[in-house]
Amino acid sequence: MIQPLDLVLFRGLWWNPMTYFIAQRTSCLYTHGGVLLGKTIKIGDDEGDMVEAKEGGVQLSFLADYGQREHRILRYKYEMAPEKIDQLLSWLLSQIGKPYEYKSYLGYITGIKTPYLDDPNQFVCVELDSEMFTQNGIELWGPEKPTYIYPSDLLQNGNFKEVT
């Protein structure tokens, strides 16, 4: 059963060139991610059961919109107090409407380190997932935080377990 703050990672689409750029860098075909809310919520005219950073910015959407696309669901494996869960959800929902970080594509493709990901008000998909934790005092990476966070980094991160 899906719970609030579960992460969802999607396998890249065969026709999308980013799938192969990311696979070349990570040996993994997962290319996109979002954060599940555990229920449908409505904010203004928008509603959804997940929050994701994608073209158009950080927005509410539905897991069902991805149809049968292969995905994996990860859950933070340590106990969190209800207040901490509320803090993370509040932070996540406050990011809705913030811009997508288009400039970072060059870095994701080439691996060249840039300051592009230093803006705390712009996100790429799994950066939003990661920052939800780290900006709220939950350390995921230790001293070696990746410059560019790929879905494979979350799949291999020992702070998460896969759920069905």
pLDDT digits (tens, 9 = 90+) for 44-74: 999 999 999 999 999 999 999 999 999 999 9
Residue 101 banded pLDDT, cuts 50, 70, 90 = confident
Percent of the chain with pLDDT over 90: 76
- Domain assignment present for residue 1? The answer is no
| The residue to which tokens 């790929």 are assigned | 150
Sign of CA dihedral 122, 69, 162, 25: negative
Number of H helices, E strands in the chain: 5, 6
Out of 11-25, 58-72, 112-126, 144-158, least confident range: 112-126
The dihedral built from the CA positions of residue 60, 62, 37 and 58, taken in this order, carries a sign that is negative
| CATH at 156 | 3.90.1720.10
Bigger pLDDT: 121 or 62? 62
CA nearest 100: which of 37, 155, 51, 30? Answer: 51
Domain with 30, as residue range(s), is 7-163
- Domain membership of residue 43 (yes or no) is yes
Q: 6-37: per-residue pLDDT in tens?
A: 999 999 999 998 899 889 889 999 999 999 99
3-state secondary structure of 49: strand
Retrieve residue 37's tokens.
Answer: 């809310």
* pLDDT of the residue at 115: 65
Q: Is 47 domain-assigned?
A: yes
Cβ of 159: how many Cβ atoms within 10 Å? 15
pLDDT at 128: 95
Residue the block writes with tokens 């599940």 = 36
The number of domains in the chain is: 1
Average pLDDT (117-127) is: 84
d(CA 39, CA 49): 5
Q: What is the mean pLDDT of residues 132-137?
A: 96
Is residue 2 one of the residues assigned to a domain?
A: no
pLDDT of residue 110 exceeding 80: no
pLDDT of residue 120 exceeding 70, the answer is yes
Question: pTM value?
Answer: 0.94
- Coil, helix or strand at residue 60: strand
Can you give the pLDDT at residue 117? Answer: 60
Is residue 120 a part of any domain in this protein? yes
Query: pLDDT band for position 96 (50/70/90)?
Result: very high
Using CB atoms within 10 A of its CB, is residue 54 exposed (0-12), middle (13-18) or buried (19+)?
Answer: middle
Collapsing DSSP to helix, strand or coil, 91 comes out as helix
User: Is residue 28 domain-resident?
Assistant: yes
